[in-house]
Structure 1
Amino acid sequence: MNGEELLHLYQTGKRDFSRADLSGLDLVQVDLSDINLSRAELDWANLSGTNLTRANLIRADLIHARLFQAQLVDANLKAADLAEADLSWSNLEGASLPRVDLSKANLHKSCLKNTDFTDANLSGANLSGVDLSGANLTRADLSGANLSGIDLSGANLTRADLSGANLSNVDLSGANLNKADLSESNLQKADLQHAALKGSNLRSANLRGANLTGAVLKEINTSLATISELNLAGVSQPSRVDLSSANLNKANLSCVKLQYANLRFALLYQTNLQQSNLSNASLIDIYLRGADLKSANLKNSILSGINFKGAIMPDGSVHP
């Protein structure tokens, strides 16, 4: 079936084109709202500027499809294959995309507000300039994705794979990142205010200059991470920053503001804490063996059950 035949049938009232072979279809800037294209073959199709509002695209094959500036508002793309598709500048607000394959797809400047990406594959996708605020990305694969500068405020990224992703300057305020994999990701200057990061993996991540004010950081793993120039202060609300049981081994925490923080049971083996502010912090039963605390501020901090062996103390001396 070619484009003219499909459009003629659509205009006569037909909406069900499920399982149709439409590979290479060329239908640009037409109205196909409410169409049923479930399980249809649409690989290499050109649907640029087409209105696919509320379309049924469940399990459709859209590999390499061109959907530039397409309208996919409230469309159902569950388990559809959009690998390497061009969805730049498209509107997918409110769309349903659980288990969709968008690996290496181009989603530059697309609107993805309040979309459902549960278990979706977005590995290697270009997500620069997109709006993902309020999106559900539970268990989504975003490994290696370019998310630089985008809006992910309030998004659900529980158990998502963000390893190696570029998240520099991203707005993740209020986002749920519990048990997410952020290892080797770039979170430089990211906004993580009040984000939930309990049990997340930040191993070897770059958090330089990130804002984690009010974030939940309990049980995180930030070993080998770069976290210098970070503000984790909780002065207005004592103990607001919870790093209890966190793995901070060998992390760079120089110049970090951790006043009033809860670091109970934290691991800080060979961690760089030079010039950090730990005043009024709870440092109970923590492991500071070999840590560098030179010029650190420990005023009024609670010190109990600490292993300081080999640590460089604030006055520059080495603890025996």
Structure 2
Amino acid sequence: MDVNEFLGRYAAGETDFSRANLRGVDLFAADLISIILVQADLHGTNLIFAYLNRAQLYKANLTCAKLSGANLTQADLHGAILHNADLHGAILQSADLRSADMTLANLLDANLIDADLRNVNLSGANLTGATLRGANLRQERNEYTANLRSAKLYKADLRGANLAGADLSRVNLRCANLVDVNLRGANLCNADLSEADLSFASLNDANLDGAILGGANLSNTKCERMSAIDADLTNTNFSGAVMPDAKLCRANFTEANLSKVRMNRSDLSRADLCEANLSEACLIDAFIARTNFTNANLSNANLFRAELSSATMSGAELQGATMPDGTTYEQP
């Protein structure tokens, strides 16, 4: 459709342009509020700074579309194709993006507050500096996906993003860049974060129950009151993390690096810390009932007032550790 014809018809009051072919047209800063573009072809279309508030873009093709600075507040993008689209600084607040394809999309500094991102595929997307506070990224089984661990945020770049309170349960974040991300109070229950980089991230009050973090980097993270019950934390790097009052019962820390971690008052009951590095870790008042420390390195760790009576300590290195009674352990 010719761009002048399209804009003329819209200006005359026509709003329904379902299945229209607007491929590659220039709609820079166009006022298209509440327009209906269901299943429209907008491949490569220039929509920079366009007003698309409450627009209906259900299953629209927006591949490689230019949407930087566009206002898509409350827009319906359910099932839309936004592969390789440029959404730098776009406003997607409260937008419906369920099951959209946003692979390799540029969402640098985008506003996704309260957006519905259930089952969205954001693999390889750039979300650096994006705000996703209150967004719903839950992975669910529906007509578009039968695999609860299908690609979603695999290798996505989320550096510095705000995901406070976001629902990321069951989401695939394998190998994602989450450096300095705000995940305070986020729901990451059963999420796959294996080999992800979460260094310097905030996970205070976050729920990681049943999550997979094998090989992930959580160095220098803030994990106060974090819950990671039954989580897979094998070979995870927690060095320098702050984890007081954390719920870590039955978590698997096999070969994890927990050197200099502060775990005061944390619940490590029945956790597996076999061959873990806990050198110089602070475990004051920690609950360690039936915890497995087989061959773990606890040298110079502080175990003052920790409950160790039922822990398995076979082969553990305790040289210089402060024991529950306040004495310093000297290796025989």
TM-score by length of 1: 0.95
Gaps in structure 2 of 5+ consecutive residues: 140-150, 322-328
Q: What is the aligned partner in structure 2 of residue 238 from structure 1? A: none
Q: Does 1:246 align with 2:246?
A: no
Matched, 1:21 2:26: no
Aligned equivalent of 1:290: 295
Take 1:300 and 1:314, find their aligned partners in 2: how far apart are those partners?
18
Residue 283 of structure 1: SS of its match in structure 2? coil
Aligned to 1:89: 89
Checking the alignment, whether the CA contact within 8 Å between 1:311 and 1:318 is kept in structure 2 is no
Larger displacement relative to structure 2 (49-58 or 216-225): 216-225
- The aligned residue for residue 283 of structure 2 is 278
Does the CA-based 8 Å contact 1:308-1:319 persist in structure 2?
no
Counterpart CA distance in 2 for 1:189 and 1:136 is: 23
Q: CA deviation at 1:319?
A: 8.7
Unaligned runs of 5+ in 1: 235-240
2:272 aligned residue (267, 282, 287):
267
In structure 1, how many angstroms separate the alpha carbons of the residues matched to 2:202 and 2:320?
34
Partner of 2:325: none
User: For residues 293 and 187 of structure 1, what CA distance do their matches in structure 2 show?
Assistant: 24
SS at match of 2:308: strand
Q: Aligned partners of 1:19, 1:125: CA distance in 2, in Å?
A: 27
Q: How does 1:47-66 map to 2 (within 5 A)?
A: 47-66=47-66
Alignment pair present for 1:80 and 2:80: yes
How many Å separate the matches in 1 of 2:286 and 2:331? 20
What letter is aligned with 1:287?
Answer: N
Query: Could you tell me how far apart the structure 1 residues matched to 2:240 and 2:59 are?
Result: 46
Residue of structure 2 equivalent to 1:204? 215
In the superposition, the TM-score normalised over structure 2's length comes to 0.91
> What fraction of aligned residue pairs are identical, expressed as a percent?
39
1:132 aligns to 2:137 (yes or no): no
Counterparts of 2:44 and 2:303, CA distance in 1: 62
2:160 corresponds to 1:155: no
Paired residue secondary structure (1:5)? helix
Alignment of 1:201-240 (within 5 A): 201-234=212-245
CA distance in 1, matches of 2:266, 2:34: 53
Aligned residue identity for 2:23: S
Which consecutive segments of 4 or more residues in structure 1 shift more than 3 A?
A: 314-320
Report how far residue 172 of structure 1 moved: 0.8
How many aligned positions are there? 314
- Shift of residue 22 of structure 1? 1.6
Partner residue of 2:193 out of 182, 188, 192: 182
CA distance in 2 between counterparts of 1:116 and 1:298 reads 45
Q: Which amino acid aligns with 2:270?
A: F
Q: In the TM superposition, what is the alpha-carbon distance from 1:318 to its structure 2 partner?
A: 10
1:69 aligns with 2:74: no
Is the aligned partner of 1:144 residue 2:144?
no
Indicate conservation of the 8 Å contact 1:114/1:136, yes or no: yes
Q: Give, in whole Å, the separation in 1 of the partners of 2:218 and 2:85.
A: 31
Quick one: which amino acid aligns to residue 112 of structure 2? L
The amino acid of 2:157's aligned partner reads N
Deviations 1:164-194 (A, max 9, x none): 1111111111111111111111111101111
